[in-house]
Chains A and B, each alone.
Chain A
Amino acid sequence: MIFDKPTHIDLLDAVSYFLKEKIQGEVPPHLAFKLRIVENVLNIVKREIIDGEILSEEIYEDLRKLLDSDSASINDLAELISNGHIDLENDDLKRLLVKLSINKMKIDNPNYSTLKKLVE
């Protein structure tokens, strides 16, 4: 990248800090509620920039093994299930669906109760 510091992460952190520490206490309750959503959104973006690629690649690796194909995609798997071309009792399929859901949750909401329960 040709860009100077602050990095995109540094910039997101600065905005998050500003919203949380300087604005949150200054707005009426119905906007404070929405502001918390905004802060969560910024955190999703930050986590996806940092870990998105590695969490996706873990899934693609398992997907290639399960479907025995070098170019298998999430869409392919959805289609195979929908068309009845994969056995729903296949344990590798079940394991992959669990891992896919866990990896998505690590970005979307790492504090989600079910994720905490499953990874602890």
Chain B
Amino acid sequence: MNEDLLKVLSDQLDCKSSNSKIINLEPLTGGASKEIWKFEIQSELERGKYILRRGSGIEGPLAIKTSEEAAIQKNVKKMGALVPEIISVSTKDKPLGDGYVMKYVEGESIARKILRDEKYKNALKSLAFECGESIAKIHKANINEFSFLPRKSVFEQLEDLYQTYLSFNQPSPVFEYTFLWLKNQNFGELKDSLVHGDFRLGNIIVSEKGLASIIDWELAHIGNPLQDLGWMCGNSWRFGNTEKVVGGFGDLEDLLRGYNSVSDFQVSHEIVKTWQVFGTFRWGVICLIQAAAHLNGSVNSVEKAAIGRRVSETELDIVDLLFLGGK
């Protein structure tokens, strides 16, 4: 398989005419639905590190095309957002399939390493503020440039999530309660923005100096920008450090200070909590979607099977937020 990939990747990057070659091609641990490969391009003059990200053909219903992720990153890079430099984009009809090649960014994306390793201790102190700034920059992008992205209000998204949950025929009293609760909340009347959709540890690269890059744009869409803030604060993305609301490393005050320093509007603590409940419900439904791909036989994956038993984490987090004073 690696030999085949090596060939189509070399063709995609036109290695023959530039007299260069691909070396050290190796798979990295990616998300549940994407392939990630690390490799180097060796030419007479230089040697550089790159990442290939491509769709596995089993993306969930919420995911955009991998090549569209590349288009977004190219656009927001122009505005100074921290994203990797894209060097080549492939589409579904090409031998490489739906994917793109980007320059490798030095740093770490694995959440537990970022939270645990001594060398990131200093970077973590200002990371919540930097994340806030970066999210606000993304939200300032001109949405007219992203006509290919789905555009949905929070209540349309909520209805979609609920219908998706219903389609799996696994009734959850907690999700039923949550759906009714969310339908009656105020999510803030804000201008539609580019929403990353999955901004959290695991999808950002952190170096010893701080936030280095924002990756994994597969859940990007146009909608209420506050979704990204609530998502980032969900307990699912604190990796056990439950007392640190922002990603298991930072405080909400710092995230909002960073956000409000760039944004045209000011965000309060209270509204983030409502979005946190929404985000937790959304993650629960995404877990159901992932597990269903295994259960309906479209893919045999122990990883996807296991994620079905993480739905209960979101139910527990929601009852904690709604009834037990959870933060």
Give residues in A with beta carbon < 8 Å to B. Answer: 29-30, 33-34, 37-38, 40-41, 44, 74-75, 77-79, 81-82, 84, 88, 94, 96-98, 100-102, 104-105, 108-109, 111-115, 117-118
Contacts and interface: CB of A to CB of B under 8 A. Distances in A.
B302 A78 contact: no
Which size bracket describes the interface of B in this complex?
35 or more
Interface stretch (B2-10, B39-47, B268-276, B309-317): B309-317
Contacts of A33: 29
A112 B313 contact: yes
The 3 A-B pairs with the shortest beta carbon distances in the complex, nearest first, are A78-B171, A113-B242, A104-B312
A115 B320 CA distance: 9
Contacts of B173: 74, 77-78, 81, 96-97, 100
Contacts, number: 97
A115 B181 CA distance: 22
Q: Would you call the interface of chain A mostly helix, strand, loop, or mixed?
A: helix
A108 B302 contact: no
A96 to B, nearest CB: 8
Interface string B168-209: 000111111101110000000000000000000000000000
Contacts of B28: 30
A5 B161 CA distance: 47
A112 B240 CA distance: 7
B150 interface: no
Do most interface residues of chain B lie in helix, strand or loop, or is the interface mixed? Answer: helix
A117 B238 CA distance: 14
A62 to B, nearest CB: 12
Given A74-B171, A101-B315, A114 B177 contact: no
Contact of B316 (A74, A77, A88, A115): A115
Given A108-B310, A108-B313, A101 B319 contact: yes
A114 B176 contact: no
B326 interface: yes
B302 A37 contact: yes
B227 interface: no
B306 interface: yes
Given A88-B180, A114-B235, A104 B306 contact: no
Contacts of B175: 78
Given A30-B27, A34-B302, 12 more contacts: A37-B303, A37-B306, A78-B172, A78-B175, A94-B322, A98-B323, A101-B318, A102-B316, A111-B240, A112-B316, A114-B317, A117-B320
B1 interface: no
A114 B326 contact: yes
Contacts of A104: 312, 315-316
Contact of A108 (B181, B309, B317, B319): B309
B305 interface: yes
B257 to A, nearest CB: 25
B111 to A, nearest CB: 13
B312 A108 contact: yes
The residue in B177, B238, B302, B318 that gathers the most chain A C-beta atoms within 10 A of its C-beta is B177
B305 A75 contact: no
A97 B173 CA distance: 7
A98 B319 contact: yes
Contact of B313 (A75, A84, A109): A109
Contacts of A96: 173
A100 B306 contact: no
Q: Which of B172, B174, B312, B318 has the most chain A CB within a 10 Å cutoff?
A: B312
